[in-house]
Every structure is written in structure tokens, then in C-alpha cells.
Amino acid sequence: MILATGRAHPELAEEVARLLGIEVVPMQNYDFANGETFVRFEQSVRGVDAFVIQAHPNPINHWVMEQLLMVDALKRASAKRITVVAPFFPYARQDKKHKGREPISARLMTDLYHKAGANRLMSVDLHSPQIQGFFEGPVDHLWALPMMADYVAEQYGTDNLTVVSPDSGRVRVADIWADRLTSPLAIIHKRRDPDKPNQVQVHELVGKVAGRDCLLVDDMIDTGGTILSAARALKENGAKSVLVAATHAVFSDPAVERLSSDAFDEVIVTDTLPIPEEKRFEQLTVLSIAPLIAKAIYAVFDDDSVNSLFPGHA
């Protein structure tokens, strides 16, 4: 087994390697003056089971290209099997055509990985599970939910907890959280105010939240607009506290400003993406995704079941 990493989030790869008891394979990775990327493995990779881990923060296209070049280099150097590890899968939100003349970007990404030489994909909390069907090979879809739910239960208990979907599109995810925590479910529904067309969205809340610890759940936080609106609606309806749990901390501006407001008591994320110091704030808790990825990599290497890591979701 070898573990290779791009430059987007080397700290995550180093932690995964430590948990696996191996070293990250030595490489040269750098950019030419015109922006083109160069990669080279500094040891033989013939016949290895290679895992290529790369985070995909901004600038996402740069890091995608670096990972594709690493996969291509491994294929041309006769690696036995190549697994792409993309904890935050690039372009996952464009998984279908919403209107005519649009690309299906997530499908293009899986095609690029396959063409570059990847035999297998591994990712955490795909925005749309159907992406698993885009790739011509096995896809290991890892869940951060058990780890994050255990943290919430340990810190807050479940007796006074309500799981909240921030909009109607995330009800399925929130329902799974509610089952895991044996907690009631509430849903925030956004609609236009008929008296103020094209101006104001009114939040209709389905479920009891007054006096309760409310846990908003989502797969990612980008600019934080939806989550902030949902948190304010919960506080206005008497929530005792508002927590957020989201796997991927994209944190595009002005997310940090929004999330550090008094609408939130705690924001819980994982480190599938690097979170620099300037994007950290008082209410932020970052859980390490490395143990989950390390277990999944070892299961694949050992020809064991990855689904066995997620009882109830096999």
C-alpha cells in the first residue's frame, strides 16, 4: 500500500498515514510559471495498491488537475490499483441538468478520474448519492454522520434535542440524523411572501423547537446564507440553543462573518477541507475525518467490507 497526497491539505494525509502506520510517498509537486502543474513520484510504484488523497478547496480546478496528474503518473508507472480519495467530491452539486444546455459536471469529474486511470473512488458525504452510479467502478461512500452524531450526543444529550432540516431539500438527511439520535425532527420551509413578491422569504417551521436544543444538519456550508436564515428562524421561535453539524466546511465569504454571529451556539464540521486560522471562530468545532478515511482505506486494501464501518447503512 502507498498513500500519495496533493498539496491542498497535506495535514489530513499525514494524519491518515500515521493511523495506517505508513509514510506518505515522497513526491515532487510544483507549478510552472504559466500555472501548469508537474508531479513525479520519487520511488517505484510498480505493482502497488495506491491511494491518492486530495482535498478540493478554492482554487478547486487547480487541485483537481493535480490529482488527475498524480493518477495518470501512477497508471503509467504500472501501479496495480489506484483509488482516488476525494473527501469533498469536486463539482458534486452539479449532478443533473436543471435547465437546458447545462453540463452534468459531477459526471464529467468521474469520467476524468476513470480516464486518468482510477480504478476506485472514495468520498465522504456526497452531495447526491446518485454520483456513485456515474463512475465505472466501485465507489466507497463514507458517512461522517456516526462520528458527528456521537459528538453531539456526548456534549448535549438527546433528551432535549430536536434535529432540524434547514430546507425541504435536506429532509432525508435530517431524518437519518433524527433516527440515529432518537430525536424528533423539525423542518424549515421557505416560501415567498405573497404580499412582497421577489423580496422576502418567510420561514414556516414544522415541528416543536421552543425551549429545545436545535441541531441544524447539512452536508456542507458554503456561504452560510441558508444556515443563518434557518438559525434566526429557530431563535425567533424560542429555541434554547442552535447547533449546526455539516461535514464539509467550504466557508466561502462571507460564511465566517455569518457563522460567528450570536445566532449560533456551536458549529460542528470536519476537516475534509483545510480550515485556515483566518476562517476559524469561537463557536467552531472541527472533528478529524482521518480515522474514518484510514479505516476505509485499510478495509479496501484488505478486501474487507467498507459498509461494515456503518452499521444500519450497509
Active site residue 196: no
Name, in order, each residue with C-beta under 8 angstroms of 68's C-beta and a sequence gap of 6 or more: 112, 113, 116
DSSP, collapsed to helix, strand or coil, labels residue 14 as: helix
Choice among 190, 196, 235, 295 that is catalytic: 190
Q: Report the distance separating Cα 31 and Cα 24, nearest Å.
A: 20
Do the beta carbons of residue 103 and residue 56 sit within 8 Å? no
Q: Is 131 exposed, middle or buried (0-12, 13-18, 19+ CB in 10 A)?
A: buried
Pick the closest to residue 161 from 245, 271, 226 (CA basis): 245
Name, in order, each residue with C-beta under 8 angstroms of 257's C-beta and a sequence gap of 6 or more: none
**CA-based Rg of the chain, rounded to a whole angstrom?**
21
- In this structure, the strands spanning 37-41 and 27-31 are antiparallel
DSSP, collapsed to helix, strand or coil, labels residue 156 as: helix
In sequence order, the β-bridge partners of residue 286 are: 269
Task: Look up residue 131 and give its DSSP letter.
Answer: G
Q: Report the distance separating Cα 206 and Cα 184, nearest Å.
A: 11
| Element spanning 203, H or E | strand 201-206
Report the interhelical angle of 171-181 vs 145-156 (nearest 10°): 50
Q: Phi-psi region for residue 224, left (φ > 0), alpha (ψ -120 to 50) or beta?
A: left
Q: Report the distance separating Cα 22 and Cα 2, nearest Å.
A: 8
Active site residues: 190
